[in-house]
Amino acid sequence: RARKAQAALAAVKGVTLNHCAEKYIAANKTAWRNPKHAAQWNATLNAYVYPVIGDLSVQSIDTGLVLKILEPIWATKAETASRIRGRIEMILDWARVRGFRTGENPARWRGHLDKLLPARSKVRRIKHHPALPYEELPTFMTKLRTEDGVAARALEFLILTAARTGEIIGAVPAEFTNRIWIVPAERMKAGKEHRVPLSERAAAIAEKMMTEFGEAHVFPGGKAGKPLSNMAMLKVLARMNRSDLTAHGFRSTFRDWASECTDHAPEVVEMALAHTIDNKVEAAYRRGDLFNKRIVLMNDWARFCASGNERTIVQIVTGA
């Protein structure tokens, strides 16, 4: 058996990590929801991994070689380094199962590299998306509504729905009906369809965009048939002299407001943000999406957003 094992290893000795990586990506990319994921894999492997071990036999890769890739960037590019480590580990696991290598995985973190490298949390401070304090939001919204252009309306719609940028720019008319926006699973971070109740103002924005442009996308970009760029809303913020903010940060603003200024249950707020339930038991038993409660929540949020403009408040309240 030992001789056969040695003979088998000798037969695949020329199989390189580069080869295994290409095969792994080809085998798994159909399961990745985001087409950009495969491109990100290739980009990081080409930049950091292939120059060091790409042409080496996958059987010859050891801990020292893995560290040669990770150590130069572990402290300065912690997020990238962590992803690279994970990708090397998956490729080497694939190679072992395919019979191209034997032994322990030198890229394994727990019980191995965690003894040689500091934890990622120790070498960097987590940076959250800059968020506007909720007390300042009504004044900000009043100013935002004076801004012209598709991107400005997209940003306002994003704030009113507490949605993510990708969900907004990918929105198409078929997803809207009866003041409900249904975001399909493939465009949601959690991979699950998400129903969004629209306040009067949010519904009006969507209707105006669809009526005015009649495009394939609710928020069309500058090129025909293309959606708004994911940088467009950041440009609106820069135009408003608020480059210190990000579009995603308004989700935190919404969360802070809901926690500190309302009696809405935390699970309703989390559902509005389309957050996944960490507790697997609770997730298994929760069947509904608390939609009716979220209608009340989002209408309250819209009223608060409009509270810097007295006339708008009256319109929303009387139309409720």
Q: Which two tokens stand for residue 172?
A: 């198409």
| Dist. CA 217–CA 307, nearest whole Å | 30
Return the pLDDT at 299.
Answer: 96
204: nearest Cα among 238, 187, 183, 181: 181
200: nearest Cα among 316, 301, 318, 43: 316
162: nearest Cα among 297, 68, 71, 52: 297
Give the largest CA-CA distance in the chain.
Answer: 85
| Dist. CA 127–CA 94, nearest whole Å | 33
| Dist. CA 136–CA 319, nearest whole Å | 25
45: nearest Cα among 16, 83, 13: 83
113: nearest Cα among 151, 50, 64, 53: 64
Return the pLDDT at 287.
Answer: 53
Return the pLDDT at 189.
Answer: 80
Q: Which two tokens stand for residue 99?
A: 């019979």
Q: Which two tokens stand for residue 202?
A: 């949010």
129: nearest Cα among 9, 282, 255, 235: 255
Please give the backbone phi and psi of residue 194, each rounded to the nearest 5 degrees, phi first.
-130, 120
Return the pLDDT at 13.
Answer: 65
Q: In what order do the strands lie in the sheet with 180-183?
A: 176-177, 180-183, 194-197
What pTM does this model have?
0.61
Return the pLDDT at 276.
Answer: 63
Sequential pLDDT tens for the chain (320 residues):
877 766 665 565 678 999 999 999 999 888 876 667 788 898 899 989 999 999 999 989 999 999 999 999 898 888 889 999 999 999 999 999 988 888 899 999 999 999 999 887 666 554 556 789 999 999 999 999 999 999 999 999 999 999 999 999 999 999 999 899 999 988 888 788 999 999 999 999 999 999 988 778 999 988 888 889 889 999 999 999 999 999 999 999 999 999 999 999 999 999 999 886 544 444 444 456 789 999 999 999 999 999 875 444 333 333 33
Name the residue with tokens 């993510």.
164
Q: Are 158 and 247 in contact (CB under 8 A)?
A: yes
